[in-house]
Amino acid sequence: METDFYKIINEHGAALMKREQFIIALPESTLPYSKSEIKTAILLALKEIDDDNIIEQLKFGYVSLADFIPDHVSRGVIIYARIGV
The answer on pLDDT for 14 being more than 90 is no
State percent of the chain over pLDDT 70: 76
* Span 69-81, pLDDT tens digits: 898 887 666 555 5
Q: Is 30 left (phi over 0), alpha (psi -120 to 50) or beta?
A: alpha
- Please answer whether residues 25 and 68 qualify as being in contact, where contact means their C-beta atoms are separated by less than 8 angstroms: yes
Average pLDDT over residues 21-29: 75
Cβ atoms 25, 38 nearer than 8 A: no
pTM of the model: 0.75
